[in-house]
A = this chain, B = another copy of it.
Amino acid sequence: MRRKITLKDIARELEVSISTVSKALKNSEEIGRDTKEKVQAFAKLYNYKPNNIAISLKNKHTRNIGVVIPDIVHHFFTTVFRGIEKYANSRGYNVIVCVSDDSFNKEVINMEMLANGSIDGFILSLAAETLDKGDFNHLKQIREQGIPLVCFDRTTTEVDCDRVIINDTDISFEVVKKLIGDNRRKIGLVTNVGFGDVSDKRERGYKNALEENGLPFDENLVLRLAYHDVEEEVIAEFFKSREVDAVLCVNEIFAIHCLGIVQNLGYSVPDDIAFVGFSDGILSKFSRPTLTSVAQHGDQMGQIAAEILIEKIEAELEENEIETYRTEIIQATLIERGSTRN
């Protein structure tokens, strides 16, 4: 088995110094033509490739970015990830992924692990538990070490970092306004407990739209579910007793669950009840009826997060650190499908 060849090997074979080899391979003006050609030919013949680790140690940066997300088996996060990976790759960066599993401890441990030299910066969506706890010391520490950090979707304002989010309040407002325009009057909201300001904002948009259109907000029309175990009976009970004629669900999985349940209860969608979900994943496109959904443009979020991060990383390398933080707001869009067609 042919081990990887190093500068030292080439130097030994060609009876020149390591420095000469290094320079020759970079086409340095310092080295004579003959020597350069000899070294380059030899390197090519033996397929020399510099060792990334050695270069990282020398340069004090790795061209790796760390991505920490709550869940990878989740359409939204994977699209964001795809956006990150694609852009990062085009810029010569690799991506190390860690899954926090919505656990505070895993998030902390993974980030500490990576922060010890493995990555040049982080892209992060916070674990549910971290949001609940409200403990962001691990992020603050990372920032203190001068490691750039971009948060997306599930973020916090308690840490100095860049952010990429969608216009949750506005789009939620727009959706509900549209439902009202479609002559829906008893509009329900299916949301989750926790998850910080994402859900809060969507709820605020919902309330604002009701208010602005003279409809009363009724807590009875709000169903609050635990994300990780959806209770069918609770949902069925809600729809049997509330007589809503439209529902906004803050995520796709809630929407699809509810859709199935109300259909089993004998309601017709969209005639009896209109449905709108968030995050426009694969389920929305293939459910029956197809689901009207708010596209969060995960690819775009990922790309922008990566752009911002790499910009910070490279500014830091140039020693002109950027001390201001951006919050980029992606415009979500409503994709209308069968579940709201009148």
Interface residues of A (CB under 8 A from B): 1-4, 49-54, 56-57, 62, 64, 72-75, 78-79, 81-82, 85-86, 89, 94-99, 110, 112-118, 144-146, 256, 260, 263, 282-283, 286-288
Contacts and interface: CB of A to CB of B under 8 A. Distances in A.
A2 B146 CA distance: 7
A268 to B, nearest CB: 13
Contacts of A64: 96, 118
8 contacts: A2-B144, A51-B116, A51-B117, A74-B78, A75-B282, A256-B286, A263-B288, A283-B286
Contacts of A99: 82, 85-86, 89
Contacts of A81: 72, 97
A170 B86 CA distance: 37
Contacts of A260: 286, 288
B73 A85 contact: no
Contacts of A82: 72-73, 99
Given A3-B145, A256-B286, 8 more contacts: A1-B146, A53-B57, A73-B82, A95-B97, A95-B98, A96-B97, A97-B97, A282-B282
A96 B98 contact: no
Contacts of A78: 72-74, 78
A54 B94 contact: no
A72 B74 CA distance: 10
Given A113-B94, A282-B282, A54 B54 contact: no
A267 to B, nearest CB: 14
Contact of A118 (B2, B52, B116): B52
Contact of A52 (B52, B97, B116, B283): B116
Nearest to A78: B73
A116 B283 contact: no
Name, among A62, A74, A78, A145, the residue most crowded by chain B CB atoms within 10 Å (CB to CB).
A78
Contacts of A114: 94
Contacts of A118: 52-53, 64, 94
B62 A73 contact: no
Name, among A64, A73, A85, A113, the residue most crowded by chain B CB atoms within 10 Å (CB to CB).
A73
Contacts of A1: 144-146
Contacts of A49: 112, 115-116
A57 to B, nearest CB: 5
Contacts of A98: 85, 89, 94-95
B72 A85 contact: yes
A110 B286 CA distance: 33
Contacts of A115: 49
A72 B51 CA distance: 28
Contacts of A53: 53, 56-57, 62, 117-118
